[in-house]
Structure formats: structure tokens, C-alpha cells
Amino acid sequence: MGKAKSGYYIGFDLGGTKMRALVVDEEFRIVASAKRKAVAGVDTAAEGLDRMRACVDEALEEATVSPKDLRGIGFGLPGALDLKQGVILRLFNVGWENVPVKKKFETIYGAPVAIDNDVNAGAYGEYRFGAGRGHPYMVGIFVGTGIGGGLIIDGKIHQGVGGAVGEIGHLLYDRLGPRCGCGARGCYETYASRLAVASQAAVQAYLGKAPALAKKAGYDVEKYRSGTLAWAIENGDAAVEEIVRESARIVGHLACDLALVLCPSMIVLGGGMVEAMPKIYLEECKAALKAHPVIATMKGVAVSAVKLGDDAVPLGAAAIAADKVRNEK
């Protein structure tokens, strides 16, 4: 490869429990990575940005790549964002406002910075390099503490006019249902997220119907991580399996809604719950799509679990940065 073609990108994931930086080459092969604890508990945005910088520096050092060989840096970020300005408008879990990510990192490294929300970056990563490869009309559904989505339309991340994006967890599932955290009634998220499953499983545990779960984690929904629920099922808690399976059926309904609106060729399922229990989610989601008479008239919608794990967000972010560099040339 000639000198003119060589160059590297940083892909960065600012997650809820950890942050992670990848150095990738122009073919998006991972050259090095570094991680740090997340910024929860850090007092100021300036300290948070410093920790992110240290993480990037470590990855560059590990890769023996000089900042002058960086073509671009992409960030997958939580919170409310201004994509154009490259600013985190509000980072909810720590309360920071107007964090100038783009300005800070462009100044330090002299390379263009692109940001997007973490769900979009993850969906784009799966589209470019993972389960959605070759599917320019793809829907990503991520089932974790909440339910979020990322849409790929004509090979690009769908942003709409901006503001809230990917709020698919708040589509209506049951008009008579309980209040969601968002304030509306009967959102899919109130029925099928990890928190919804955990709260139902806690009742079963308390009633003595989920002994493995009760022994492992008591009745505390905070301790019911996705892996804990998977472990309880493996250890014989049929009641927990039925609750998870119902969550998966409901995610199947959501997949149908999205297929009806968007007519994609691929639905990629991810998030903690799916990664811990992929078989249940894939089975129920495929069954729901297959059973829907209108979707049966479509050209066929495949369903897959994510393939990239923790690399989806930073790889997607790196690709977003590369697209931006290419478009601005």
C-alpha cells in the first residue's frame, strides 16, 4: 500500500460502564484498542474529556500510530447530541451540558471528528461489518435496560430532522398498559425491556417460583442483569424463561411494526438481553414476522443477532468518521 493511501481512524464508544477506543486502518481492521471506566462519578465534563483523551492516547501508543496519521475520529455517544456541532447537549447520567467533543479532539489531534448516538453507531457498525452486511435497508433493535433502535435506509443512518432518534421503544404496544418511564402509556419498553422482565421475574422469585434466581440475586431488580436472567433459565427457572420468552414475543410485534413501516430486508437484534439469550429472541421474533399476513406478502425479512459485540459501536463510529472525511473531500 502506497504512503498516500495509508492512514488510520479512531472509533470511540462512550458506554455506560466503560469507554473504549479502537485504532483501525483504512480497511477497518482493528490495530489496537484501549479502555477506561465510564465517566459516571466524574465531577466535570473537562475531567471526563481528559479521561477520553487518555484512552485514545493509549490506543494510539499501543498501535504505534502517530496522531498525524489519523484521518478521522468517530464517537458513539449517549445523551442528547448536536451532530453538526459535535456537542453532547446533555449527558443524562452525569448531568453535564454542552460538552464540546468535536472541538476538543480536533484541537488535540488535528483530525476531523464525527459524532453520532451510540445506538446509530452500533447499527451502522453491524450494517457495514456485521450481521447487516449487504442490507442497505436494515433495522437494528436493541433490547437492554430500555429498547432503542437504529435504522439504515439506503445504506445511510436515518436521522430524520434530528432531535430524538431511534425511540422505537416508545411505540404503542398496549393503549391500556401501565405508564412508561417516558410518561406515556403502554410503550413496548414497559413490557419487553430488561427492566420490565426483571420486575416480573422478581415477583416470581418472591413467590417462590424462580428459586435459582432468588438464590443468586434475591428480589432486587437492580441485580437482575441480563446474564443473571440467562443463568437462572439455564438453572431451571421455567417461570423466568416464560417471562423472557414473552418479552421476545413482544419484541417480535415491534419488529413487525418496523417491517411494515420500512420494508427492510434485515432486522438485527442486539442489546444485553439478546446477547445473553439470543436463541429465545431470534426464535420468537422470526415466528412473529412469519405469522404476520401482510409481512408474508413482502420480499422476506431476515432476522439475525448482532455479530460484533462490543466492537459494533466503535467500528461504526470509525466508519461514520471515514464517511464524513470522504464526503467532505
Which of 41, 134, 160, 208 lies at the binding interface for a second copy (CB under 8 A)? 160
Over the window 42 to 81, marking each residue x when it contacts a second copy by CB under 8 A and - when it does not, the resulting string is --------------------------------------x-
Which of 182, 195, 192 has the alpha carbon at shortest distance from 252? 192
| Distance between CA atoms of residues 34 and 12, nearest Å | 10
Contact stretch for a second copy (CB under 8 A) within 105-113, 126-134, 152-160, 223-231? 152-160
Contact stretch for a second copy (CB under 8 A) within 19-27, 64-72, 161-169, 227-235? 161-169
DSSP element (H, E) containing 10: strand 8-14
Q: With binding defined as CB under 8 A, does residue 4 bind a second copy?
A: no
Stretch 173-192 residues interacting with a second copy (CB under 8 A): 173-175, 182-184
For a second copy, the closer of residues 179 and 326 by Cβ is: 179
Distances (CA, A) of 125 to 65, 145, 163, 320, 321: 23, 21, 22, 9, 12
Distances (CA, A) of 7 to 2, 68, 76, 160, 263: 10, 9, 21, 32, 37
For a second copy, the closer of residues 59 and 266 by Cβ is: 266
Q: With binding defined as CB under 8 A, does residue 129 bind a second copy?
A: no
For a second copy, the closer of residues 82 and 310 by Cβ is: 82
Q: Are 97 and 89 in contact (CB under 8 A)?
A: yes
Radius of gyration for the chain, computed over Cα atoms and rounded to the nearest angstrom: 20
Cell numbers found for residue 120: 446509530
Stretch 203-232 residues interacting with a second copy (CB under 8 A): none
Which of 159, 212, 242, 245 lies at the binding interface for a second copy (CB under 8 A)? 159
Q: In which residue are the cell numbers 424463561 written? A: 241
Task: Tell me, by CB under 8 A, how many residues bind a second copy.
Answer: 44
Q: With binding defined as CB under 8 A, does residue 306 bind a second copy?
A: no
Q: How far is the CB of 280 from a second copy (least distance, A)?
A: 19
Q: With binding defined as CB under 8 A, does residue 299 bind a second copy?
A: yes
Q: With binding defined as CB under 8 A, does residue 97 bind a second copy?
A: no
Q: Are 117 and 76 in contact (CB under 8 A)?
A: yes
Q: Are 327 and 23 in contact (CB under 8 A)?
A: no
For a second copy, the closer of residues 299 and 329 by Cβ is: 299
Stretch 238-277 residues interacting with a second copy (CB under 8 A): 253, 256-258, 260-265
Residue 187 DSSP code: B
Burial class (CB in 10 A: 0-12, 13-18, 19+), 233: buried
Q: How many CB atoms sit inside 10 A of residue 64's CB?
A: 9
Q: How far is the CB of 182 from a second copy (least distance, A)?
A: 5
**Residue 113 β-bridge partners:** 73
C-alpha 64, offset from chain centre: 29
Q: With binding defined as CB under 8 A, does residue 292 bind a second copy?
A: yes
Q: In which residue are the cell numbers 453520532 written? A: 116
Which of 5, 41, 164, 328 lies at the binding interface for a second copy (CB under 8 A)? 164
Q: Which residues of the chain form contacts with a second copy (CB under 8 A)?
A: 80, 137, 149, 151, 153-154, 156, 158-165, 167-168, 170-175, 182-184, 253, 256-258, 260-265, 292-295, 297-300
